[in-house]
Chain A
């Protein structure tokens, strides 16, 4: 990959993406009584996932700024392109 002009992770509009550990993943799925594919999806090559080591089937946790809640936590399931 060509070197990026700047690190988009540092941009204030890009929310924080982080991989969810297997233990957390299990409790999360149990909490909502769902399988990973019932979560919203995110492509593996999504720019937000730069520098996050994930493979399809993993879950990423995204912490976004929200006008109503201050901070909103989203989980997304990584999929192949």
Chain B
């Protein structure tokens, strides 16, 4: 781990340099076009800096903790020395002569008065000290066994990494029993322990860093290899620092506050402490101060250097600002979610994007997205000026950034970007000519990508066309909620504006809503009617009749303009109105969710006329039924989304005119039915009492493999379930099929018959973990019941309906299961989300090749035919090929 930290640090430096180089290169390219020299990285070696290397790469030796002189100019040999790079505009770097932003900065160094252990290497140092001789420095493995140990260690490193290798050295040594006596020089070994964070003890006595360094120096190169280090790059003694590298000022810039005061970076503060203490230590040593004072200062230096690398070492109090907030030093810069890696390198942020709350607008087309005007005036689209559109684009520039539709920027052919303001407007307008680019506001019909997290699907990010609307939310057609898994209880969604012609084309061809219609998971439409749209079409096709005028009116209001398919009769049935949307040569036979009194659920469409049956969730809903699938196959995607939009609007328009409300009286039962429900429940209670009596007398026949008590539970559950179902059936039979609550349940728009029965008759048994409620008090569920009471009411059976109201105990049982299921979902969602993520990451580069094999990125075969049958689910009917239908259609031609 210790090395990794150093590595990342070095990588970072390398990266900064690379960026710098690139910028320089680009500069050169613009000034004088030169052939680009490209080189390939051959290999990368990670290592530890030797004191020699640190001095060699350094631009300056730092000797004073002062930063600036009286004029505010950086002090020579101070921490802000201009040989380490510049952060003030105007100054030039003394080392490379470049200005601010051109010079990447240079390292400096300080000579430490006494060596100091590097915190990131203490574990490695400990392992080295423990495994080597204190006298001769050799590994505590006899000469003849070294080769064997090396092989063993190599194989362990291959399997479980370098950490495991270092651990295993100790195991080998303790197995060889050479731990007490060196097999090479026969000197006696002592026990070495680490007193965290940085103090080493040998037989309870302190070993100071000088002695540690001496011991590490003694380890011969050949033995260093055993620890998985190459002594050419890492010598053990380098892990005890004698010289410390000072990072360039460019990675710890100071900020000038409004008051003109300078505020230094945390790292500079820490380095100041180090230099100051180091100076004092030098002075004290030279003055021959007593050993105690020197040791104290030495410890202090160790503390400062440790916290410079890592300010969150468990055993050390973190170094703090005067305000009391801990300093952010090197490790904190890299580590964790806010660190360089996860925040800056792996974090993805983008321009030309927007995010707000979403709300529904069924009057939008399915592939449109409503964008608030404020957004449309901030998000822009670059449009290249040519001789045919100069005048057109000039109009945008003229309006400027404050008036819609205007433009925010003009880009000159040399890449200079100019903001349009009231002052620059005239000049920009003047110079605008072919070759320029105008960043204009969004207009209706522009392309955008629309996304809702979590993006688990390819349908979670689709391409929509923009409609600029008043208001402050992003608007979408409720029919496309399903693929995004969105609702409007406060959901937010993201919008991205592709900036190049290629990106827009790609989005349009591959990602537009209509191209995502058929799900690759189950081969049916993922977009369909929801809620009111289903209720509306159900009512329309089941019971409505219109005069011709009204029919035309309804259709017009739902966006239909072509009435050629509408029946010419004076009286037009709802089915005929619906049929007006269908193409006149469409034939279909399917099943509806609704069944009439004879149990008939057929839906027949012949020549574009709905002849028989009603439209409900089974045919209009998302992910169900083949109606939409078949239309898509015959008439294509464009037609299908337009049709879904029309059906949707027709549904809600009908509902609007017809009136629709879910009334309390919908759950009213006639006296007759109420008595029957009561009878059913009473009978059930009576039966359960009988069972309990049998159980108590020991006369109950146990199921095989179950105890008597378990059998009783099962039997009771079964009985009560039956009773609830019987009550539900009664409710269904007695309820008015044309009440709006029933219409919703029957058409599949919302709710089901069980919900209705729970409201009207009986909520039913509350179950915790698949059993009746049996927890709470000792031997009973609530204090109002006797111990060992097994009757339904005492174990969470709710015999009342929601409308009648619940008894306190019943309400409590309901709350118990309610809370349990809430907990359950709260715990399960992140778990299953993580599981899904792991699958998605493991399979993200799998791809079906042209020979139908599924292969990974390296061309290895995973599956010989996709899904083993080679069928594209989205191009078939639920993953099967209906040969009969194909034969039929081919024959027809």
Contacts and interface: CB of A to CB of B under 8 A. Distances in A.
B860 interface: yes
A38 B864 contact: no
Given A34-B859, A38-B859, A74 B864 contact: yes
B486 interface: no
Interface in B13-63: none
B868 to A, nearest CB: 4
B861 A72 contact: no
B879 A72 contact: no
A49 interface: no
A13 B859 CA distance: 30
Interface string B717-760: 00000000000000000000000000000000000000000000
B867 A68 contact: yes
A32 B851 contact: yes
A69 interface: yes
B861 A40 contact: yes
Contacts of A38: 855, 858-861
B522 to A, nearest CB: 13
Interface residues of A, number: 14
A39 B879 contact: no
Name which of A31, A66, A68 has the most chain B CB atoms within 10 A of its CB: A68
Contacts of B143: none
A74 B868 CA distance: 9
Interface string B869-883: 111000000010000
**Secondary structure at chain A's binding surface: helix, strand, loop or mixed?**
mixed
Contacts of B851: 31-32
B410 to A, nearest CB: 53
A73 B855 CA distance: 16
A37 B661 CA distance: 66
Contacts of B709: none
Contacts of B865: 69, 72
B868 A66 contact: yes
A3 B573 CA distance: 78
Contacts of B864: 72-75
Interface in B838-862: 851, 853, 855, 858-862
A66 B853 contact: no
Given A32-B851, A68-B879, A39 B869 contact: no
Nearest to B859: A38
Contact of B871 (A32, A68, A72, A74): A68
B881 to A, nearest CB: 12
A38 B858 CA distance: 8
Nearest to B855: A38
A14 B458 CA distance: 36
Interface string A41-73: 000000000000000000000000010110011
Contacts of B870: 69
Interface residue tally of chain B, by bracket?
10 to 19
Contact of B868 (A34, A37, A68): A68
A41 to B, nearest CB: 9
B859 A68 contact: no
A44 B859 CA distance: 23
A66 B879 CA distance: 14
A71 to B, nearest CB: 9
A32 B861 contact: yes
B867 A32 contact: no
Contacts of A74: 864
A35 B855 CA distance: 13
B859 A69 contact: no
A67 to B, nearest CB: 8
B869 to A, nearest CB: 4
A13 B631 CA distance: 42
Contacts of A39: 860-861
Given A68-B871, A68-B879, A69-B869, A32 B862 contact: no
Contacts of B859: 34, 38
A70 B858 CA distance: 29
A11 B556 CA distance: 66
Contacts of A75: 864
B860 A69 contact: no
Contacts of B871: 68
A7 B860 CA distance: 32
A66 B853 CA distance: 16
Given A38-B859, A40-B862, A32 B853 contact: yes
A37 to B, nearest CB: 8
Nearest to B851: A32
Name which of B862, B865, B871 has the most chain A CB atoms within 10 A of its CB: B865
A32 B864 CA distance: 9
Interface string A15-27: 0000000000000
Nearest to A67: B868
Contacts of B862: 40
A34 B861 contact: yes
Contacts of B879: 68
B867 to A, nearest CB: 5
A33 to B, nearest CB: 8
B857 to A, nearest CB: 12
A46 B388 CA distance: 71
A80 B867 CA distance: 29
A63 to B, nearest CB: 11
Contacts of A72: 864-865, 868-869
A37 B856 CA distance: 13
Nearest to B849: A32
A32 B852 CA distance: 10
A74 B861 CA distance: 10
B861 A66 contact: no
A41 B489 CA distance: 50
A38 B862 CA distance: 9
Interface in B814-857: 851, 853, 855
Nearest to A39: B861
A62 B96 CA distance: 67
Contacts of B853: 32
Name which of B860, B870, B871 has the most chain A CB atoms within 10 A of its CB: B860
Contacts of B861: 32, 34, 38-40
Nearest to B869: A69
Nearest to B873: A68
Contacts of B858: 38
Contacts of B869: 66, 68-69, 72
Name which of B860, B861, B862, B871 has the most chain A CB atoms within 10 A of its CB: B861
A48 B869 CA distance: 23
A11 B867 CA distance: 24
Contacts of A68: 867-869, 871, 879
A32 B855 CA distance: 11
26 contacts: A31-B851, A32-B851, A34-B859, A34-B861, A37-B860, A38-B858, A38-B860, A38-B861, A39-B860, A39-B861, A40-B860, A40-B862, A66-B869, A68-B867, A68-B869, A68-B871, A68-B879, A69-B865, A69-B867, A69-B868, A69-B869, A69-B870, A72-B868, A72-B869, A74-B864, A75-B864
Interface of A: 31-32, 34, 37-40, 66, 68-69, 72-75
The 5 closest A-B pairs by CB, nearest first: A69-B869, A72-B868, A69-B868, A66-B868, A68-B869
Given A39-B860, A40-B860, 15 more contacts: A31-B851, A32-B851, A32-B853, A34-B859, A34-B861, A38-B861, A39-B861, A66-B868, A66-B869, A69-B865, A69-B867, A69-B869, A72-B868, A72-B869, A74-B864
